[in-house]
Structure 1
Amino acid sequence: MRLCSIASGSSGNCIYVGDDTTHLLVDTGISKKRIEEGLDSLGIKGSELNGILITHEHVDHIQGLGVFSRKYEIPIYATQGTIEGINCCKSLGKMPEGLLHEVEIDKSFTLGDIKVRPFEISHDARQPSGYRFENGQKSVAIATDLGKYDEYTIEQLQNLNAVVLEANHDVHMLEVGPYPYPLKKRVLGDKGHLSNELSGRLLSDILHDDLQYVILGHLSKENNYEELAYETVKLEISIGDNPYRGDEIPMMVAKRDSVSEVITL
């Protein structure tokens, strides 16, 4: 199983998950050109994709979906609410017939030789979801755009070998930053985004000896920076109720405008 961030941040998101025979994208929130360049760096053509999974219909997750889909006609998978949101997004243009496939929260399905399980997340979209992927004995998950987490979230993220986890903002930077008050309230709310501290606490709840890699993602351009997210999450692990220290966890921050190293499990 391989995992790679092609782009991650408040301005656009696209994650690759795959193996030797199955190639998947989670979200297409960047241009077709950037998606193709990212895939090319992985030695994969757009036409070789087995599926595109969409977490929710916000523009930073679907911006390139229309153009990319019209060129390659790759099947698209999303919840009913997210499909409704995609169909209402006029900026995507006309989507090719028959490409949108509805998936159900907590109901697994298979693409190639990878089992996919959508799980519910708390965000201000129609029916947002995270995704868990399993192939043989390895499993990875994408969990971004969640304003809060609970025991259900922790359960969905158990026994992973790698995870892309949101560390969106530093609370103090957000509070004193340029965002208008309603937007600050939205980001800090239960249907907003995870702060660095909450990301570290959630990670502390899912750590185990076989979690081989953590990618911190979806950082805010205005209210966070890479080193702060990285150090804050490490600190939360070190002071948390778990047997690990932050510097023991292999972890990196996904960049907004460049492809990450490939995590191979």
Structure 2
Amino acid sequence: MPTRSEVAQMVDHTLLKPESTPAQVAELAAEGAELGVYSICVSPNQLPVTVPGGVKVATVCGFPSGAHQSEVKAAEAARSVRDGADEVDMVVDLALVKTGRWAEVEADIRAVRDACPAPVVLKVIIESAALTDDEIVACCEAAERAGADFVKTSTGFHPAGGASVEAVALMARTVGGRLGVKASGGIRTAEAALAMIDAGATRLGLSGTRAVLDGLDGSAASADPADEGTLGAGHSDTADY
């Protein structure tokens, strides 16, 4: 079983509520550094943000619907990088996915990739809970062709739900280690986090990071939805990222 510090280094410690305040983001950053996470993930309007301890800064693009023109997503991503983002998590155009327009899905992702070239890390959110297995595979293949670094299960905002072990395993098999796999959405316990890692997740999107890590220590058998971290109004028990 991975150690607490090893799991922490897989975590994007996340606060994406639209009503989040700069004070809450500053608290997220301090908590992320304390917990030893890989990155914090915040909305573009909260950039730039200073994070102590070398923690990376991630943001989102075309969030949460993905229903934006590609040039708008590209401009948003480029602005976020100028504002200090190390990583960008973009949402695919689900209308294109559901109609099987895979060349256009790839072009949408590539537009963002071109706007934020390496070393910026690009993660592609596919909303796996809203897709068939064939659509998950095709989305992952399009993301790889377009030069993405990760595929990611969910925004945490879609009514279809968040991450599942089955979706993570399918995504991991499809990308075969060539891309990372980020599990995000509804991961509230140590047990759930470990199941995602066992299925092939190489990054975790968590809003209740402290509760998950405490569970690894055996000090908390599961995360209490009333104690989703220490950020008060910034978190909820229904939206996990």
Q: TM-score, normalised by structure 1?
A: 0.37
Structure number with larger C-alpha Rg:
1
Which structure has more helix as a fraction of its residues? 2
Which structure has more strand as a fraction of its residues? 1
